[in-house]
Amino acid sequence: MGYIKQFLLLFLMIVVCGYLFYDAYYDVKEETVKQFNKEQNVHALQAATGIRTFFNHYKDQLGYFSVQDEVANLNRDGKELLTRFYFSHRHEIMAVTRIDSAGRVLFTAPYNSFLMGRNISYQEHVKRFLKFRKDVLSDVFNAVQGYRSVAYYVPVFQNGRFKGGIAVLVPFENLSKNFLKDIKVRDHGTAWIVSHEGTILYDSVAANNFKPVYEVFRNSPTALSMIRKILKGQTGSGEYYKISPDAKSGSSEVRMHAVYLPVHIADQFWSIIVSTPEKEVLGAMRGFIIKWLSIIILLISGILVYLYYAVKAEAIIKEEKRRRLAERALKDSEKKFRTLVELSPDAITLIDLDSRILACNKQAAQMLGFVSPEDLIGKNSLDMIVPGDRREVEKRFLELLKEGSLRNVETKFIRKDGHEFPVEFSTGLVCDSSGKPLSFTCVARDITSRKEAEKELLEAKERAEKLDKLKSEFLAQMSHEIRSPINSVLSFSGLLEEELDGRLSEDLQTSFSIIRNAGKRIIRTVDLILNMSEIQTGTYELMPRKFDLMKDVLEKLQMEFCHQAKDKGIELLLENRTGKQEVKIFADEYTVGQIFNNLVNNAVKYTDRGKISMCVERNESDDLVVSVRDTGIGISEEYLPNLFKPFTQEEQGYTRKYEGNGLGLALVKKYCEMNDLKIEVESKKGLGSVFRIMFS
């Protein structure tokens, strides 16, 4: 019975040990794969960040050029600007191209006579760009310049009008070389990239480049399953079997572990995949397996002696495993942090509680005029601050001990040569596991350029505001000076005309009519100038109240202008389609009246035949809409963008056919904005115009 018990105990121990071995192996394997995928994900994120940063840089640059009139008009300055941009970036790009709205090449740097005027709208990405008129990134294609590249297009608009676009052509070989080629995980881990359409853009196996990904992995169902997720733009990890050449059997299946994530650029995305053979992922576990087998043998050999030691040994091994994993995670974290600090464009320093510098990056040394970070170690950080700010900074650091962090603190630093310069810094408190403060982390940035720009902007704003105020005050003063004598002229000429009534010749009657009309024209001009002056100087005070738009405004305007319209042989109609006799609104009555006064006045002035109609109705959203429609001379499409600018008219100079000062519609626009109203214009030259005012 003793032997049987011993055998059963030994058998049970073997089963238990075997189970423990498998369980621990499985846990370690899963954790190893998980940690390894994190490592692969770091590589993928670095590549994705690099690619995204690369294109964002050119997006910002091209976006800046797209709003420059020189580039939109492509004059000599615009061409020189694009040429300089190309030569300063020719180590990254092969060309800068400007196309028009039809897809023809207007200019390219470097200059290529073969391309000038060539229509490239047949290219798929150019079709998308011309259709949607927004940022577009092409797939890899054979550029007309003769190399595989990707193109990044940014639209050019001038005064709301689409003028084509600017593009940079990036050699895809350089892009893959800079961000993907150097990615190596273990011995055979590689990175590859797939377009959103399923084309392999880059693979370490050159034969796979620019092939459909489904074709390359057609014999691997597991890979195809992962690829379907990739092409949906998902982020994740997975495993698949890859068919690889084998010296003995000709081919073999290799289990691969992969992570994937999308890089969204403009109107499409690429997916970056980093994959490594499983045998390399689990290579670090071989020593672990050997140790475990040794432990099992020792446990089985010593089962008759002390079972306790076997259990204790198991606990020790598990603790060792956790410690190693923790050490590995700590090393990985330290490596990531060190890389982040060194690559940061900002100055980063670690300061003890006595304000002594413990560590810093190269940018901190360069900012303060030192050769290397070692030159700063041990120095008092407060000595780097201008004397006048030190007390305040010390006070803020004391607050930091309570709050835990400080953000966007502005002060001035002193370089080694004594030069002072403005900085902005943020500081965080570093504590131990018990919450006890150990040190400070400070991130500082030189803001000299920003401060200079802010100063220039503020000075320019103040000058502009001063000039605008002086202009408005001058116009108001002059308008008052003009209005008084004109009122006298009109009054006395009216009295004289009444005094001579019945004794006036036809020529004198015409002269009095000219005086009367000219005076009214001057009075209207003065009123418009005064109204504009009140708006620009901010002296007009809105007094919104509830009133009847039909009775208090539109009907009065119809009566006021009906005689002028009748004299010109045109109809002036008013129609209420709301179904209600009263049309109540809440707004400033004077400015609303001026809106429609100016619109009707313009309609009468510029209409020689046909009719003018004012229509009040409600739209589909139940908003009140008042339209003023005429059959007059209309407005050209080219002039519409300038319609509401002060002192502008479509016909300029002394030879213009119609009188006016260009303030009426400018005031209409201003009054609409003051009352939160919307205005729309439809017009065709020679056919008439319609202005719609919407009350929401």
Q: Residues 92-107: pLDDT tens digits?
A: 898 999 999 999 999 9
CATH number for the 452-536 domain, one of 1.25.40, 1.10.287, 3.90.1070, 1.20.140? 1.10.287
CATH of domain 541-695: 3.30.565.10
Residue 653 pLDDT > 50: no
CA distance 421 to 373: 19
Q: What is the mean pLDDT of residues 157-161?
A: 90
Quote the strand ranges of 525-644, DSSP E: 544-548, 571-576, 584-588, 611-618, 624-630
Q: Is the pLDDT of residue 503 over 70?
A: no
pLDDT band of residue 167 (cuts 50, 70, 90) is: very high
pLDDT band at 302 (very low <50, low <70, confident <90, very high): low
In this structure, of 115-119, 298-302, 393-397, the range with the lowest mean pLDDT score is 298-302
Distance (Å) of CA 530 to CA 11, 184, 479, 541, 675: 107, 74, 7, 14, 19
- With pLDDT > 70 as the criterion, what percentage of the chain qualifies? 76
593-630 pLDDT per residue, tens: 999 999 999 999 999 999 999 999 999 999 999 999 99
In tens, the pLDDT along 355-401 reads 898 888 888 888 888 988 888 888 888 888 888 888 888 787 777 77
How far, in Å, are 267, 276, 348, 640, 687 from residue 345 at the CA level?
Answer: 29, 33, 9, 47, 61
Rounded to a whole number, what is the distance in angstroms from the first to the last CA of the chain? 98
Instruction: Say if residue 542's pLDDT is above 70.
Output: yes
Q: Which residue has the tokens 């010296």?
A: 247
Q: Are 261 and 271 in contact (CB under 8 A)?
A: yes
Q: What is the DSSP letter of 220?
A: -
Residue 203 scores a pLDDT above 70: yes
- Of 665, 657, 616, which is closest to residue 639 (Cα–Cα)? 665
Residue span(s) of the chain under CATH 3.30.450.20 come to 344-446
pLDDT of residue 654: 41
Which of the two residues, 8 and 410, has the higher pLDDT score? 410
Name which residue leads in pLDDT, 596 or 523: 596
In 3-state terms, the chain is what percent helix, strand and coil (to 5)? 50, 25, 25
Q: Are 368 and 415 in contact (CB under 8 A)?
A: yes
Indicate if the pLDDT at residue 239 is higher than 80: yes
pLDDT value of position 106: 93
120 has a pLDDT exceeding 60: yes
Domain with CATH 1.10.287 in the chain: 452-536
* Cα 458 to Cα 64, 202, 437, 464, distances in angstroms: 22, 50, 42, 10
Tell me the pLDDT band of 672, cut-offs 50, 70 and 90: very high
Q: What is the tens place of the pLDDT at every residue in 321-349?
A: 888 876 777 676 566 666 666 677 788 88
How large is the average pLDDT for residues 302-330? 71
Mean per-residue pLDDT over the chain, rounded? 81
Which band of pLDDT confidence, cut at 50, 70 and 90, is reported for residue 511?
A: low
Superfamily of domain 344-446: PAS domain (3.30.450.20)
Strands of the sheet containing 357-360, edge to edge, are 357-360, 347-352, 437-446, 420-431, 405-414
Give the span between the Cα atoms of 110 and 107, in whole angstroms.
Answer: 9
Q: Mean pLDDT throughout 211-218?
A: 84
pLDDT of residue 288: 63
3-class DSSP assignment, residue 335: helix
User: From CA 228, how far away is CA 164, in angstroms rounded?
Assistant: 36
Say what the pTM is.
Answer: 0.40
Strand partners, 688: 684
Window from 231-240, 475-484, 531-540, 565-574 with minimum mean pLDDT: 475-484
Mean pLDDT of 424-434: 81
Q: Which residues pair with 137 in a beta bridge?
A: 152
What is the per-residue pLDDT across 25-66, written as a single tens digit (0 to 9) for each? 667 777 777 777 777 788 778 888 888 888 888 889 888 888
Output 205 or 579, whichever has higher pLDDT: 579
pLDDT of the residue at 410: 84
Which tens digit of pLDDT belongs to each residue from 441-458? 888 888 888 888 888 888
> Is the confidence at residue 6, as pLDDT, over 70?
no
pLDDT exceeds cutoff 70 at 67: yes
- CA 1/CA 435 separation, integer angstroms: 61
